[in-house]
Structure 1
Amino acid sequence: MCDGSAAIPLLQRPVVLIVDDEPEILRALSDTLEEDYEVLSETSAEQALGLLQRRGDVAVIISDQRMRGMPGDEFLARARGISDAGTILLTGYADFETVISALNKGAITFYVAKPWIQESLRAMVREASTAFRTRQELRTERMLLRGAFDHLPVGLTFCDAEGRFMRLNARAAEVVGQAEAFCIGRTEEELLPESRKNAARAAEEEFRSEGKSSRIDHFTDETGRERWHRLTRTRLPGEGEQQTGLSILIHQDMSDLMEMALRLRHVDKMQAVGTLAGGIAHDFNNLLTAILGSLELLPDLLPQENAPAQRLMGNAVSAARKGAQLTRRLLDFSRPGDVVRTPVAIPDLLKQLQGLLNQTVNGHGTRSETPVTLMPFPEELPAASTDAGQLELALVNLCLNARDALPQGGEIRISTGFEHVAENDREGGLQAGDYVVISVTDGGIGMSPELQSRIFEPFFTTKHLGGGSGLGLPMIYGFVRRNGGDVRVVSAPGEGTSITLWLPAAEIPAAARPETADRGDPFVVKGQTILVVDDDPGVGIVTEGFLRRAGFTVLRCENGQDALLLVQQRPEIRCVVMDLLMPGMNGDECARRISEIRQEMSILFVTGFADRAALPEGARVLGKPFSSDALLAGVKAMMPE
């Protein structure tokens, strides 16, 4: 049967097909109806069936009973299998048995005896045409409703008074994990696994007592993934105040939304901890600068032959440097935006880094050999837009973690690849675009889902006391997120771990790895004057001591206002070494005002928590704690000739 899915425009005249093997009858019927209808005519039943196959807009069929080749009742019965048109049997004989049989079989809607009464015939055609239009409209409505029902982004189920499923869409069947046909006649409790039945019973009790229920069902599916489903049930109202007893059950999968909320909560927590860590690191770096600087200057005051004193100073310097490394990790974790992104050829970087990775992983000689293997690189792998130095540090940390997950030894594999993120597929908050991915994989002890959910938390570690700071993975996470990428983990207990770094692909061809600028050897300049500005007296004394030992004349003050006065009053000052974070007037503000007084003045910022975004482009920055050589190299780089 023609589905008649195309709706008929209201202004279009209904189509009437007249079938009769007598031309005179055809003309008479056409004359009667053509004013209000589009009339088609055929003299053969077979030809009429062919026309109905081609046209689905025929609203009414009028057929003579006595025709050569095929009687009218048989023709109309066959037409029913093709068209939904109303049917009128025209007969000139009192053959009531044929008419009754055709009516009983549903082959005809009306019958008209010859000779016909025109008004009566028009009324029958009008009623049959209206019924056809109504059927077409209902069919269209059913099609639209069924399409919406089947393709809703939520599960939808209609239940009877006993809670048994009457009809459900495919999404609802997925929720209970059964085929649609299997669900019909069963309740939700019967279809759910045992672990979820209690929640279903509680919702059913709430619905029985209050007439509606809404809950969020939190469970773990067969793949081990946490899921959250909101289930809402409400009664379907009847006419007036009558109740139908029927209800509708709506299943909404909220897993993606909940995971996004948890990720955002994690990001907020990381940012809060990062801010705290940055503040602590700033103050701690000032202490370490004073300690390390004082220890570096102390040998000038002690006799070299005092071996015990030299050993004690060596121990103190070593401990202070370890503290500086810990503080640097805190800063790398907490410092936003301090990533210098350049095109980095990942295969070249990994080849140059492989020796260091193997040495770092196996250098202790107390465990089984754990080779770091580079898997074959994809052809035409684009360069990554990233900070090469921080990426190297991240890979070293990942390989060390992989080694610790292999207590009996085993291979660590580093693989690379290329991925494209579409506009509508932004897992992990990635922007649409191309990404270079680097995976570090081990076949070690693996991690449980609970452990995976905490590995990026600062100071969280599974290692023994003193075995790790718990900052390695958070530092990697912070670096990659600031780099515009993501860190993804695949692991299971006893099945190893794979951690993948997603880095944005560079928009220009891969270039050679940026070389570290050669600052040259420390130098000595006699007599030149440098202004040291630092609010921490311990740091200021050490900075002054380093510079005086190198032969400079040093002026020192502890705030920006005094620095401005000295620059105005002392024209012999050649450059300024200044702390970035100071009370009253920050280093960046002080530097701007100094440049207004003396445009040629060079300034070296020293800081334990440098937000480079707050500094002018090209500003020279020396991180705390710093050695004498690093300070002098920084001064040499900016000292006017």
Structure 2
Amino acid sequence: MSRGGELSERALVLAPTGRDAAIAAAILKEAGAPALVCDTLETLRERLDEGAGLAVVVEEALRDGDLSALSAWIEDQPSWSDFPFLVLTQRGGSVERNPGAQRLSVTLGNVSFLERPFHPTTLVSAVRTALRGRRRQYEARERMEEIRRGEAMLERRVAERTAELEAANRQLAAQISEREKVESALRQAQRLEAVGQLTSGVAHDFNNLLTVILGNVEQMRKHAEDPKLIRRLAMMSEASQRGARLTAQMLAFSRQQKLEPRAVDLNETVQSMGDLLQSTIGGSVQIAAPRLAENLWPAMIDPTQIELVVLNLAINARDAMEVGGSLTISTDNVVLGEPEAAEAPPAGEYVMVSVSDTGSGMTEAVRARAFEPFFTTKEVGKGSGLGLSQVFGLAKQSGGGVGIETEVGRGTTIKVFLPRAHEAPAGRTADAGAAPAAHDNHLVVLVVDDDDAVREVTAGLLTDLGYNVVEAGSGGAALDLIEQHGEISAVVLDFAMPGMNGADLARELRARRPRVPILFATGYADAEALMGVGDHQIVHKPFVQAELARKLSRSFTTARDRETRPGVRLS
């Protein structure tokens, strides 16, 4: 155990006159206690700084000297130290015999008095007693230092443990936040799935009804002469087309529709929508000149859906503004980094179209729920809450995303990011006014549909086009007709049918008649179910005669090209 070093065990002896100093030092040396004789109080004070176990001082040196420096040193001792003094006196240590003893006790603190003359053994005993007390002080110092080291180590461990707990708490908080995000995304997906299931369940039957209406209206218009009747038939046709678009919007919102993305010039799309936006928005809102980026990249998107996206955003912007507000549509090329929000797209190159308004803006709570289906801040009856959900669904299904910049009272900008296409947009093709007729009056088309009215309307349209038509109401009946009629040239096939559906029937038909082209007529089919089926092989219900004729004619052309192409195996 450390005792303060070798010097801290020695005795300092101060007896300036006579032979007391030499005698005391000699006695202590013989007893094995090192001693150092000091000539003055100043020397004693200096040696105390070097280290000592006690001081043996004659009373005369203390009575006649300046004790201020020594008293200051005693006052400055650390808490563990109480340095011992042994005073050699002629009159003992009692106050009655030695009035100066009280002053020395106050000044020196830990002081013992030894009356002269004394026996050497008495001196040695007194010195050893003082040194034992000093050693116990050193031991106390050591314990205090150990306690301090222990406290420091404990504080360090507490700090480390606290830091570990804080890190664990931060990690737990991050995990909780991430779990909440995942749960929120799951709830959103479940809502979308529920709406998708509802929409897809209705879409097929609803589009079948629209097919019957449109087909009959088209047949009646061919023979109508009364202007009022023609006008009413046109209104019925337009209403049916609007119903078809509504179904397509619902499917796009629920991400159930099979999109047909292609390279699209968004600048051209925005410019072509000017009249439509003005008539839809009305005169209460000013539509500013669009800010179209130069050298805009082509976007990969279903062209029929992007117009719906812009229109929905414009309607939302109008509803967020008072009379006199301003709406601006912009386009730009953007390169995005890693996404910071769930609705944002992954890193990459995108073509952006945005709609900005000067309306009320969104609070953070509203912004967090903006893409939830059926969430709306509009009054009852003035909003379905599907506009932004549909935009979000289409953007995500197309491989892009959506961003919102908003400030309460200062307006909102909604940005739709669409993947960049690396091919030039195809030119717009004008719709043919009249349906092309059959090239050969002997061509036989098999129409397969479980809905009698739809099958009858489809057969009527094909008959008017010059085709010979045979009908089947199920997959089994269709296979029987294929076996009975070897001259069947093409099949128009409903995709969703009870029992043997369109996909199963198509596989059977290709196995038996690999060269017969198949045109799928569908009111709704899951995107995965139509995987691998080309656009030229699908006609969407409700269809008009011209569309049916073009798709069927193209099916014949594609089949002939494949048949004459070397090395191509028909399947």
Aligned match of 1:556: 471
Asked whether 1:316 is paired with 2:236, we answer: yes
CA distance in 2, matches of 1:459, 1:294: 39
Question: Do 2:329 and 2:353's aligned partners in 1 also have CA atoms closer than 8 Å?
Answer: yes
Aligned match of 2:555: 638
Aligned match of 1:140: 156
Aligned match of 1:391: 306
2:491 to 573, 576, 596: 576
CA distance in 1, matches of 2:391, 2:399: 13
Amino acid at match of 1:629: A
Amino acid at match of 2:348: D
Per the alignment, in what secondary structure is the counterpart of residue 459 of structure 2? Answer: helix
2:396 to 477, 481, 489: 481
- 1:601 Cα offset (Å): 2.5
CA distance in 2, matches of 1:637, 1:536: 25
1:570-590 CA-to-partner distances (Å, cap 9, x unmatched) read: 221122110110000110111
CA distance in 2, matches of 1:361, 1:121: 95
1:274 to 171, 193, 196: 196
- The 1:99–1:616 alpha-carbon spacing in structure 2 relative to 1, beyond 3 Å, is same
1:108-160 CA-to-partner distances (Å, cap 9, x unmatched) read: 7999x99x99x9999899868855753552242133134346656469xxxxx
Aligned match of 1:371: 287
Amino acid at match of 2:237: V
1:297 to 216, 219, 222: 219
CA distance in 1, matches of 2:148, 2:540: 85
Asked whether 1:104 is paired with 2:60, we answer: no
Amino acid at match of 1:498: T
Question: Do 2:449 and 2:473's aligned partners in 1 also have CA atoms closer than 8 Å?
Answer: yes
- The 1:103–1:291 alpha-carbon spacing in structure 2 relative to 1, beyond 3 Å, is same
Aligned match of 1:351: 267
- 1:441 Cα offset (Å): 1.0
Aligned match of 2:328: 413
- The 1:109–1:372 alpha-carbon spacing in structure 2 relative to 1, beyond 3 Å, is farther
Asked whether 1:401 is paired with 2:401, we answer: no
Asked whether 1:434 is paired with 2:348, we answer: yes
- The 1:392–1:364 alpha-carbon spacing in structure 2 relative to 1, beyond 3 Å, is closer
Aligned match of 2:210: 288
- Aligned counterparts, 1:50-129, within 5 A: 90-91=51-52, 94=55, 101=75, 103-104=77-78
- 1:529 Cα offset (Å): 1.2
CA distance in 2, matches of 1:17, 1:419: 73
CA distance in 1, matches of 2:157, 2:236: 84
CA distance in 1, matches of 2:147, 2:295: 67
- The 1:595–1:130 alpha-carbon spacing in structure 2 relative to 1, beyond 3 Å, is same
Structure exhibiting the larger radius of gyration computed from Cα positions: 2
- The 1:132–1:322 alpha-carbon spacing in structure 2 relative to 1, beyond 3 Å, is closer
Structure 2 length normalisation: TM-score?
Answer: 0.66
Question: Do 1:370 and 1:403's aligned partners in 2 also have CA atoms closer than 8 Å?
Answer: no
Amino acid at match of 1:94: A
Per the alignment, in what secondary structure is the counterpart of residue 546 of structure 2? Answer: helix
Aligned match of 2:373: 457
CA distance in 1, matches of 2:161, 2:182: 32
Question: Do 2:320 and 2:360's aligned partners in 1 also have CA atoms closer than 8 Å?
Answer: yes
CA distance in 1, matches of 2:54, 2:365: 87
- The 1:138–1:305 alpha-carbon spacing in structure 2 relative to 1, beyond 3 Å, is closer
- The 1:142–1:518 alpha-carbon spacing in structure 2 relative to 1, beyond 3 Å, is same
- 1:259 Cα offset (Å): 6.4
- 1:475 Cα offset (Å): 2.3
What number of residue pairs does the alignment pair up? 463
1:599-627 CA-to-partner distances (Å, cap 9, x unmatched) read: 22221111111223113413321111000
- Aligned counterparts, 1:43-54, within 5 A: none
Asked whether 1:333 is paired with 2:294, we answer: no
Question: Do 1:534 and 1:579's aligned partners in 2 also have CA atoms closer than 8 Å?
Answer: yes
Amino acid at match of 2:539: L
1:361 to 277, 286, 311: 277
CA distance in 2, matches of 1:382, 1:17: 85
- 1:419 Cα offset (Å): 6.2
Structure 1's unaligned 5+ residue stretches are: 1-13, 27-63, 75-88, 156-249
Bigger relative CO (Cα 8 Å, ≥ 6 apart) = 2
CA distance in 1, matches of 2:295, 2:217: 51
Per the alignment, in what secondary structure is the counterpart of residue 500 of structure 2? Answer: coil
Aligned match of 1:40: none
Amino acid at match of 1:91: A
CA distance in 1, matches of 2:228, 2:298: 52
Per the alignment, in what secondary structure is the counterpart of residue 427 of structure 1? Answer: coil
Query: Is the helix fraction higher in 1 or 2?
Result: 2
Structure 1 length normalisation: TM-score?
Answer: 0.60
Question: Do 2:444 and 2:487's aligned partners in 1 also have CA atoms closer than 8 Å?
Answer: yes
- 1:549 Cα offset (Å): 0.9
Aligned match of 2:438: 524
- Aligned counterparts, 1:605-620, within 5 A: 605-619=520-534, 620=537
Aligned match of 2:59: none
CA distance in 2, matches of 1:127, 1:381: 80
Aligned match of 2:424: 512
Aligned match of 2:542: 625
Amino acid at match of 2:252: D
Amino acid at match of 1:138: L
Aligned match of 1:444: 359
Per the alignment, in what secondary structure is the counterpart of residue 612 of structure 1? Answer: coil
Question: Once the two structures are aligned, what percentage of the paired residues are identical?
Answer: 28
Structure 2's unaligned 5+ residue stretches are: 9-35, 57-69, 85-126, 561-571
